[in-house]
Amino acid sequence: MKLVDKPAKAHKKDASAPQSGDKDASKVAQGRAELIKKPAPRANIENYEQEYATFNWDDAKKEISYFAGGKMNAAYNAVDRHIHDGRRNKVALYSVGANNKIEKLTFQDIYEQSNKIGNALKKLGVERGDRVFVFLPRVPELYTSTIAIAKVGAIAGPLFSAFGPDALRDRLIDSEAKIIITNPQLKPKLDAIRNQLPDLEYVIVVGGDKAQLGEREFTYEELVAGESEKLQCAQMDPEDPLYLLYTSGTTGKPKGVVHVHNDIVGHHMTSKWVLDLRDDDIYWCTADPGWVTGTVYGIFGPWSLGASVVSYEGRFDAASWYSLIDRLKVTVWYTAPTALRMLMKGGDDVVYAHSLESLRHITSVGEPLNPEVLRWGHKVYGLPIHDTWWQTETGMQLIVNLPCNPIKPGSMGKPLPGIYAAIVDEDGEELPPGREGKLVVRPGWPAMLREVWRNEEKYKEYFKIPGWYFSGDNAVKDEEGFFWFIGRADDVINTAGHRVGPFEVESALIEHPAVVEAGVIGKPDAERGEIIKAFIVLGNGVVQTDELLEEIKEFTKRQLAAHAYPREIEVKETLPKTRSGKIMRRLLKAWELKLPTGDTSALEDD
Ligand code: WT7
């Protein structure tokens, strides 16, 4: 595959640029294909090699606001400082409801509203280090609450609104959450497990009806009414926790990844360099803040730069997405390969039925970005898609396609200035270019995970060889220093960019009365990257029917999450297990992919 020599950019002001409603798709397509050869505009980072050689993270601290004595608060940097730097009346959030109604909140609005709910949280007894969870769809209160939690020095726990009772319970129990902020639509999922949560003191319901609420439950509106619009941000040590986000590993329940206020240094620099955000940008991150991308690059990062953020509550649909870009004149877009594949499937006509003239920079994350999607995007949007690699644990983008660098389609790019990444063998020895191995990073970047919530052992596994952070991914580096993703080194499933642990799905499956054993794997899928496939053993006398399998899928979806249910279920008489009784997912995968089964000497004898 040929290199795209220059990060091409369509000159959208060109008279021949396609107009909205242009019906002659092929003519327009040709027009856009010509336009992409125009040179790149000035980017926030212009010379990668030079920055890579000279940059260090202490330089970045100069762009962050600190209190006396080196104290800080990430929320102060994201919101409060814009009250004094001329951005007070600038739109911070374009919140687009599921009904497509747009609500605009300025930095002043976010400041005041987060202060009010922050004061209310304090009155409820929230103290530094307490866990306060946010279980909301993408509505303004999700943003004001998350900022408020950080302001009072508590730890924000983002929860994806599609989570079911099992997913909620695992996270709320493990973290000993004190408060959860939700809405009337999502609350029943919480009510279903409420008696299992002894540490949960209060429930706050956005848009709730007071008459419907029980003891220790409040409406958000009654709490903020009469609260002061002023609140001093808690002055935190940079190493104090900011947010706690659960993510899946290969074994056991989801683990709580702890991030700290100092992360904002990394959020800021990556939003500047990788997202290339500037003051006049209207930026849309399609990820939900229930995932790390939505928390870091949907809230803290872009706001640290003072950019206007778009939040869309509605579901994916090509025409709605493009209309949103046109309506709000979105300039910078951060999305996921699965979404782009779905847009590609949606066809070119729907693209050309929209202007998309405002777009100037596209970035993606979460799974491998296929070269054909990149090429298609280049053709129809007139812009290359800049892939980025990072993880919940890394807390910020680490391997990236910067606007100033050429793109090799299919590659994740190069390490950000300030980051040293390498490919090593099992012993931590660096491998030469072209050799596949473990993707590792030199510890010490600002947003690196600081702790796995009450699980020291798990935390240590990431740093099992001194001097390296082990990502759990396999990759290869080429002669020119570009990194290429190979796959996960463990059983973690990546479906449509969502990280799913097989153990969680297996646990939900065996809660169903008909299922006695379950083994879950990721199965390659053209659109979603992987889909979840379950192998199950049914209970004695249970008859396998299509209806039953459908019911088991629905059950898992309801209990766990809409993205985490098995799209395929295969019934087996028995499942292969190790002598210690662990289901051998590796073997299930080999069966599924018709691969050699390798060493099965650990299989149980029967
Ligand atoms: C895993 C992390 C933080 C971003 C959202 C996902 C996979 C991430 C890429 C990429 C290929 C990627 C890796 C990684 N991944 N970015 N550009 N190309 N794979 O965060 O849920 O913590 O998942 O997503 O396997 O380990 P996450």
pTM: 0.91
Q: Whose CA is nearest to atom 14 of ligand 1?
A: 391
**Mutational pocket test of ligand 1: of 499, 504, 528, 530, the residue with most ligand atoms within 8 Å of the beta carbon:** 499
User: Which residues are paired to 603 by β-bridges?
Assistant: 578
Which is it for strands 451-452 and 255-260: parallel, antiparallel or unpaired?
Answer: antiparallel
| 441 beta partners | 421, 469
> For residue 222, how far is its CA from the centre of ligand 1 (angstroms)?
40
> What pairs with residue 501 in β-bridges?
none
Ligand 1 center to 399 CA (angstroms): 11
Q: Please report the pLDDT score of residue 598 as a whole number.
A: 67
Return the domain boundaries, the chain. Answer: 89-257, 493-593
**Minimal CA–CA distance to 306: which of 55, 488, 84?**
84
Cα 157 to averaged position of ligand 1 atoms, centre (Å): 20
Mean pLDDT of residues grouped by 10 in the chain (606 residues)? 35 33 40 39 91 97 98 98 96 96 98 98 98 98 98 98 96 98 98 97 96 96 97 98 93 93 98 96 97 98 98 95 98 97 96 96 96 94 96 98 93 97 98 97 98 97 97 96 94 93 94 96 95 97 97 96 95 91 91 79 48
- At 257, which helix (H) or strand (E)? strand 255-260
**Pocket perturbation via mutation, ligand 1, pick of 245, 494, 500 by most ligand atoms within 8 A of CB:** 494
What residue owns the CA closest to ligand 1's atom 19?
367
**DSSP secondary structure string, 259-272?**
EETTHHHHHHHHHH
b/e burial code for range 525-552 (CB count within 10 A of at least 16 → b)? beebbbbbbbbbbbeeeeeeeeebbeeb
pLDDT of residue 29: 43
| pLDDT at residue 10, as a whole number | 36
**Which of 160, 367, 414 most suits a substitution to test ligand 1, by most atoms within 8 Å of the C-beta?**
367
The CATH number that domain 493-593 falls under is: 3.30.300.30
Please give the pLDDT value at position 31. 37
Is the domain spanning 89-257 CATH 3.40.50.980? The answer is: yes
* CA 436 – CA 442 distance, rounded (Å): 18
Residues touching ligand 1 (Cβ under 6 Å) are 247, 292-293, 365-368, 387-392, 412, 471-473, 485, 488, 494, 499
User: Side by side, which strands form the sheet with 529-538?
Assistant: 515-525, 529-538, 568-571
Rounded to the nearest angstrom, the distance between the alpha carbon of 273 and the centre of ligand 1 is: 19
Could you please report the per-residue DSSP string of 418-477? T--EEEE-TTSPBPPTT--EEEEE-S--TT---EETT-HHHHHHTTSSTT-EEEEEEEEE
Own/partner contacts of 82-87, CB < 8 Å, gap of 24 or more, are: 82/107, 82/111, 82/303, 82/306, 83/107, 83/108, 83/111, 85/306, 87/279, 87/306
